[in-house]
Amino acid sequence: MSLEAIYNAVLSGNAPLAKSETQAELDAGTSAESILNEACIPAMTEVGRLFEIGDKFVPEMLISARAMSASMSLLKPLLAEAGVEQVGSVVIGTVAGDLHDIGKNLVGMMLEGAGFKVIDLGTDVSPQKFVDSVTEYSPDIIAMSALLTTTTKSIINTIEALNEAGLRDKVKVMIGGAPVTQDFADRAGADGFAPDAGSAARHAKQLLAA
């Protein structure tokens, strides 16, 4: 019964163990904030690092993210109750015309695992819906995913819509997806580009620090 056991359960992707060890740690009097900051976040950071160097793959990341979610299901109400401040907030969605969601969901889980509040708009999200989300949620970052070459145009359209609404300077824009490159991100006017889910949380933190 220790924070290390939770860390190892998340790292290995054992959701039932992550949940039971989290409950045991809470019962022992450890704060939800300590479990989050000393076990869950470090474990997901390590998962991201291992993915980036090729030692973990997407299915393993998904399993670890689910284990983290099992732990977070117990921690979230307690963190909210304690008023624990999150790293930042991210509105995430797959752009208009694109129904792919596995990558988006994985990035969302990695961001959550890094301490961000994540508002998921789903798939096929119109530029207007992204614009409305800035007014509604005041996020620090908008994260857009495009998995089809044909839908990358929706990223440009959304950034243009943010400009037209006078909201572009109020939010950072991070993009990703199979056809998206750093060169495209520069041309589209995005603030950041994450080549994979493993690096998304790290890039998001860098954007906040910029």
CA distance 99 to 110: 20
Query: Looking at residue 2, what is its pLDDT?
Result: 84
Query: Looking at residue 30, what is its pLDDT?
Result: 96
Query: Looking at residue 135, what is its pLDDT?
Result: 96
Are residues 96 and 124 in contact, defined by beta-carbon separation less than 8 angstroms?
yes
Q: How far is CA 70 from CA 13, 74, 75, 125, 158, in A?
A: 10, 7, 9, 27, 34
> Closest by alpha carbon to 87, among 133, 34, 41?
41
Residues in a beta bridge with 144: 93, 175
Q: How far is CA 204 from CA 43, 117, 118, 165, in A?
A: 17, 12, 12, 23
Answer whether CATH 1.10.1240.10 is correct for domain 3-82.
yes
Burial 162-177 (b: 16+ CB within 10 A, else e): beebebbeebbbbbbb
What letter represents residue 170's amino acid?
Answer: K
Query: Looking at residue 1, what is its pLDDT?
Result: 60
Query: Looking at residue 197, what is its pLDDT?
Result: 83
Length of the chain: 210
**Span 173-195, pLDDT tens digits:** 999 998 999 999 999 999 999 98
Query: Looking at residue 103, what is its pLDDT?
Result: 86
Query: Looking at residue 154, what is its pLDDT?
Result: 97
**Span 133-156, pLDDT tens digits:** 999 999 999 999 999 999 999 999
Helices (H) and strands (E) in the chain, counts: 10, 5
Q: What is the pTM of this model?
A: 0.81
Are residues 159 and 187 in contact, defined by beta-carbon separation less than 8 angstroms?
no
Domain boundaries, the chain: 3-82, 88-209
- Class assignment of domain 88-209? alpha beta
- Where the chain has pLDDT below 70, the residues are 1
